[in-house]
């Protein structure tokens, strides 16, 4: 089974490269399932209902959110309308939406998608480790789920790596989001789970993690706010993580970063055969 995950979609140019390339990638490489993190897709902060539907129409089977998921207040309402939207699972009880979902892939496999927020350098949340474990115990790999994918939206590299080791041998893949820079550590762990610390963003890399450079530089150099962050609107790079999952075991056989366009060097998974 071929699964593609696309990292944080940032602003208009991030959306447009997903709209332009994802339909072709799905068809050309016969992808069975696609997950997109869309939490920065609306001007860098949150996601709108229109954008969520456009990403879904472009080929996303599931859209994960993140710490900015309520930046557009309308999301508190429309998140209940669409099963393909997954907000962090470790929000407080009673929070609108769902933190996990079981979905049917194109090849008929049932995929559990779990999304969690880290706690290091992030606002206080319930424990992501216990929250994710509860979900995979209720819908374990090889029983109710043919594959399990975890999007761990966290700031600290150490916390993401710890989550990977915590879940190794119990899920198909653990991929980090939030820091917007693709890491070079995509690999299959000892227990058979695919891992990458950060999938990167879909956006303009001639920026500061997606934003125009002037305001971040003002804050770093002078410690002052001169305005808000605005998305950079140069040529975008599509960044993500591809994994080939064994249909019998639910564990990863191959995994690789994916990068297309913009400033970064292109990389297509070598195990994708047309």
User: Tens digit of pLDDT for each residue in 61-112?
Assistant: 999 999 999 989 999 999 999 999 999 999 998 999 999 999 999 999 999 9
How distant is the alpha carbon of residue 245 from its chain centre?
Answer: 17
Q: Report the distance separating Cα 153 and Cα 179, nearest Å.
A: 8
Using the structure block, give the residue that is written with the tokens 């998921």.
69
CA nearest to 46, candidates 55, 37, 34, 56: 37
Q: Which two tokens stand for residue 256?
A: 């690789």
Question: What percent of the chain has a predicted confidence (pLDDT) above 90?
Answer: 94
- Asked if 68 is an active-site residue, the reply is yes
In the predicted model, is pLDDT for residue 212 greater than 70?
Answer: yes
* Mean pLDDT of the region 194-201: 98
In the predicted model, is pLDDT for residue 274 greater than 70?
Answer: no
Rg (CA), the chain: 17
* Mean pLDDT of the region 20-49: 96
Mean pLDDT of the chain: 96
Active-site entry in 68, 153, 178, 180: 68
CA nearest to 174, candidates 134, 215, 129: 129
Global model pTM greater than 0.85: yes
Question: pLDDT value at position 219?
Answer: 92
Domain ranges of the chain: 2-204+235-260
User: Tens digit of pLDDT for each residue in 231-245?
Assistant: 999 999 999 999 999
* Mean pLDDT of the region 184-208: 97
Phi, psi for residue 6 in degrees, rounded to 5 = -105, 130
Q: Report the distance separating Cα 184 and Cα 181, nearest Å.
A: 10
Contacts of residue 103, Cβ cutoff 8 Å, sequence gap at least 6: 33, 61, 62, 83, 84, 110, 111, 112, 113
Question: Is residue 56 a contact partner of residue 49, using CB atoms and an 8 Å limit?
Answer: no
To the question of domain 2-204+235-260 being in CATH 3.60.21.10, the answer is: yes
Question: pLDDT value at position 272?
Answer: 86
User: Tens digit of pLDDT for each residue in 112-167?
Assistant: 999 999 999 998 999 999 999 999 999 999 999 999 999 999 999 999 999 999 99
């Amino acid at each position: 089974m071929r699964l593609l995950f696309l990292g944080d979609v940032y602003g208009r140019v991030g959306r447009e490269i997903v709209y332009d390339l994802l339909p072709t990638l799905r068809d050309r490489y016969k992808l069975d399932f696609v997950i997109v993190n869309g939490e920065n897709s609306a001007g860098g902060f949150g996601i709108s209902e229109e954008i969520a539907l456009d990403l879904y129409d472009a080929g996303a089977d599931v859209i994960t959110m993140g710490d900015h998921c309520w930046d557009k207040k309308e999301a508190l309402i429309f998140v209940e309308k669409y099963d393909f939207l997954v907000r962090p699972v470790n929000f407080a009880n009673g929070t609108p939406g769902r933190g996990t979902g079981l979905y049917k892939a194109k090849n008929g496999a049932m995929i559990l998608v779990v999304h969690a927020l880290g706690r290091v350098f992030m606002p206080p949340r319930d424990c992501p480790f216990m929250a994710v474990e509860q979900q995979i115990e209720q819908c374990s790999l090889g029983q109710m789920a043919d594959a399990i994918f975890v999007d761990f939206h966290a700031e600290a590299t150490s916390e993401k790596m710890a989550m990977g080791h915590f879940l190794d041998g119990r899920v198909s893949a653990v991929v980090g989001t939030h820091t917007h820079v693709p890491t070079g550590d995509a690999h299959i762990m000892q227990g058979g789970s695919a891992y990458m610390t950060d999938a990167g963003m879909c956006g303009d890399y001639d920026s500061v993690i997606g934003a125009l450079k002037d305001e971040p530089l003002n804050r770093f150099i002078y410690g002052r706010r001169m305005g808000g962050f605005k998305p950079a609107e140069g040529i975008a790079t599509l960044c993500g993580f591809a994994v080939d999952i064994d249909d019998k075991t639910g564990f990863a056989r191959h995994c690789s970063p994916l990068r297309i366009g913009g400033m970064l060097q292109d990389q297509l998974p070598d195990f994708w055969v047309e």
